[in-house]
Amino acid sequence: MPEGQKPPKKRKLVDKNVPSAIVSDPAFAVDSKMYQDLLDMEKKLDWTTMRKKAEVQDALARVPSMTRTLRLFVSHSVSEQRWQQGDAPVEPSPETGKGIPAWQLKIEGRLLELPNPRWREKTPRPLSTFVKSMIVEFDRDPALYPDGNIVEWERGSNQPTLDGFTIRRKGDAPTKTRIILHLEQYPEHYKVHPELGIKEDSRVGVIQALWNYVKVQSLQDKVDRRRVRIDGPLRPIVANVMNGQAPETLPFVSLPELVNRYLSPPDPIIIHYNFDPNESPPEKPSAWDIEVRVEDVALKAKMSGLTISAAGGTTKEITKLDDEIATLVQSLHSSVLKRTFLNSFASDPSGFIQSFLESQSRDLETILGSGPTDGATLRREDLQRSEFFRMPWVEEAVAVWDGLRLANRA
């Protein structure tokens, strides 16, 4: 082999079927039947494994989620209030803030731990990662406190994460607070129109519920499986989107667009918190439990590990065994050919030698295009097939024949 040239790639053997001569032989009937049953079982197992792997990959693409409890803490603290100054009031100083009554509102939160310690996060998620936006409204006299009664926060792409929010304001009057939270759900949830019979769910969940209804009611068209028949309960839903007219059937691909018309942003979480700066703040903060949908990181890691392990050493070992079986089957085919050759020779040596020489002579004449019989050894059925003249040796035979023809002219 020339230096630098890569060796030819070895052809992989894939045929694992036993030769028909062995299958039909009564001496090997039982063993052949057992081997064929094993092949059929392997095909079913391979199909099941591939289907389950596809389901796992599809689940990983959809990203599993789980419901967790977010505990929200709201508290307040006060400073420079009259009841804190005692009998000797401090002269107010706008520069330092001394002597000016003020208070602070603090909003914090964390996910409650799961009972299984293996599923706990190593690093707790900050509160701001659960909140899309937040509005805090203070119900105070606008004549005394004209500014700062509404505080808005919206999460941006480049903003740092926050463990909590602290709002400081001046004043000593009792204050009613309303906190409006728009939470981050995973996957994103929507408020669904009552006509669909679902209160709140993700877009995929609503489409899946509609598809389950189609399957239960057998609404898939029997002729064109890509279309869905519209029954009585679905007719007003489709009519609202189709300007009052619902068709008899609807393409399945239009179901997501139909569902989008009935989705709206979910209702925010509203928390009311009242406090009086003239009283001592409570020792413990007020708490609210809110359910949120978050990414199931542990399950995702487990499913990813399953697909990786399936593609590891086990698959290599199975591939190695498949190659060994294919090699043995190929050797079996060669042995059958040798056995047939020797049996034919043993039964009629002279007739076998004569037919063998005729076959070799015919093959040689086919390649050269001439011979002692001038092509009479070619079978008529071969000449009637157009594929016979497209075989690889035809060009070489034509070149040899053309050369002989030119030599005869000379």
Q: What is the pLDDT of residues 106-165, one digit of tens each?
A: 999 999 887 766 556 677 889 999 999 999 999 998 888 887 899 999 998 888 899 999
pLDDT at 304: 67
Give the CATH class of 190-264: mainly alpha
The kind and range of the H/E element at 102 are: strand 102-111
Q: Residue 389 above 70 pLDDT?
A: yes
53 compared with 253, residue with greater pLDDT? 253
Question: What per-residue confidence (pLDDT) applies to 371?
Answer: 53
Q: How far is CA 9 from the centre of its chain?
A: 35
Q: Is the pLDDT of residue 62 over 80?
A: no
Sign of torsion over alpha carbons 103, 109, 112, 113: negative
Of 61-65, 131-135, 169-173, 203-207, which one has max mean pLDDT? 131-135
Distance between CA atoms of residues 307 and 53, nearest Å: 7
For the cut 60, the answer to whether the pLDDT of residue 377 exceeds it is no
219 touches 229 (CB < 8 A): yes
168 DSSP 8-state letter: E
Task: Compute the mean pLDDT over every residue in the chain, rounded to the nearest whole number.
Answer: 82
More confident residue, 407 or 42: 42
Single out the residue of 119, 159, 152, 120 nearest to residue 133, CA to CA.
152
pLDDT top residue among 37 and 93: 37
Q: Which residue type occupies 249?
A: T
Beta-bridge partners for 329:
none
The answer on pLDDT for 53 being more than 70 is: yes
pLDDT surpassing 70 at residue 3:
no
Maximum pairwise Cα distance, the chain? 138
Half-sphere exposure of 119 (CA within 13 A, CB side): 15
CATH number of 62-185+266-305: 2.60.40.1970
Q: Three-class SS of residue 216?
A: helix
* Residue 4 pLDDT exceeds 60: no
Name the band, by pLDDT with cuts 50, 70 and 90, for residue 308. low
d(CA 139, CA 179): 11
Which position has the higher pLDDT, 302 or 278? Answer: 278
Q: What is the pLDDT of residue 31?
A: 84
| Domain extents in the chain | 62-185+266-305, 190-264, 342-405
pTM here is 0.60
Answer for the pair 224, 250: CB distance below 8 angstroms, yes or no.
no
Beta strands in 216-363 (DSSP E): 227-229, 249-251, 263-264, 269-275, 286-295
92-96, 144-148, 187-191, 387-391: which is most confident: 187-191
Cα torsion 381, 382, 387, 389 to 10°: value is -140
Which range, 34-38, 183-187, 281-285, 378-382, has the best average confidence (pLDDT)?
281-285
pLDDT at 270: 96
CB burial of residue 150 (10 Å; 0-12, 13-18, 19+):
exposed
Calpha distance 259→209 (Å, rounded): 11
b/e 288-321 (16+ beta carbons within 10 angstroms → b): eeeebbbebebbeeebeeeeeeeeeeeeeeeeee
Q: Could you report the per-residue pLDDT of 313-372, keeping only the tens digit for each?
A: 677 788 888 888 888 888 888 888 888 888 888 888 888 888 878 777 777 766 665 555
For residue 410, CA distances in Å to 246, 403, 404, 406, 407 come to 87, 11, 10, 7, 5
Name which residue leads in pLDDT, 303 or 132: 132
